[in-house]
Amino acid sequence: MPASLPWRHFLLALAVAAVWGTNFVIIKVVLGSLPPLLFAALRFTLAFFPALFFLKRPAVKWRNLALYGVLIGVGQFGLLYFAINGHISPGLASLVIQTQVFFTIGLSMWLAREQVHGFQWVALVLATAGIGVIVLHTDGSTTVLGLALVLLGALSWAGGNMVAKQGSPANMLSYVVWSSAFAVPPLLVLSWVFEGWDLGFAGLRQASAATWIAVLWQSWGNTLFGYAAWGWLLASHPAATIAPMALLVPVFGMATAALWLAEPLPGWKLAAAGLVMAGLALNLLWPRLKALRAAS
């Protein structure tokens, strides 16, 4: 357990990581009934309605809310859902999407002129090596297109991080809920253009109760519970204590994909995961270790 983190808070952080990690398998299950872009539109519809009636609009510009909603709704999840729909396995998707950390660093370096430290370059090299291993082993379950789509989704997530940083919302949950409204119109238009109404209506007609429960879980469990709990934890503890728990997300993602979907875990996949996770761990933990060493 991380130092100075009470057991109940640790278990809450673990629950959030588990929800976010198992989310990728749930996406795969829902895509058996619903086309990806329509699924994304439903997810964000239920994320803002009816929650917007109970949460005050955050004190940020409408333009900022709209840009965040499009980047996260269309860019991150629209591309992610499309990729998992036959182009990349859920376990690998849960790992590759975490490269948003390095895209965020790159955008901060470019837009905010933030300094990149030596350990961050080493972390980037490790993670890039892991992605390279995946590229060398693309097959029927993971394609170059799927990998590229998830990487673009990670870049969109990083862009959303920069937009949220610029907006500086006091309540991240309210920010996510209200921005979700701006994700729905473009997702519906894209669904109509690329999937067609016939496919969409057919998916809605054949959707089972389990499908709708999974969609609600995406909207309320993954989005509302996840962001609310994570935001509360970050407000209650130093970021250096909470942030490393995010390393468990791809662990849960790959483990549940192996257990639930029988996704194989060959040596190359474990090696790729090890390299990406090592890069993420170095980026998150090195400043804390350096501070502890200086204090001692």
State pLDDT tens for residues 179-202: 999 999 999 999 999 998 888 888
Cβ atoms of residues 150 and 88 within 8 Å: yes
Distance CA 76, CA 91 (A): 17
C-alpha neighbours within 13 Å on the C-beta side of residue 35: 19
Q: Is the pLDDT of residue 70 over 90?
A: yes
Average pLDDT over residues 101-108: 82
Domain ranges in the chain?
Answer: 7-295
Q: What pLDDT, on the 0 to 100 scale, is given for residue 83?
A: 95
**What does the DSSP 8-state code read for residue 87?**
T
Q: Output the six-digit token pair for 171.
A: 């309540």
CA–CA separation, 67 vs 60, rounded Å? 12
Cβ atoms of residues 99 and 267 within 8 Å: no
pLDDT at residue number 241: 67
Q: Residue type at 253?
A: G
pLDDT band at 4 (very low <50, low <70, confident <90, very high): low
- d(C-alpha 288, C-alpha 32), whole Å: 43
pLDDT of residue 204: 87
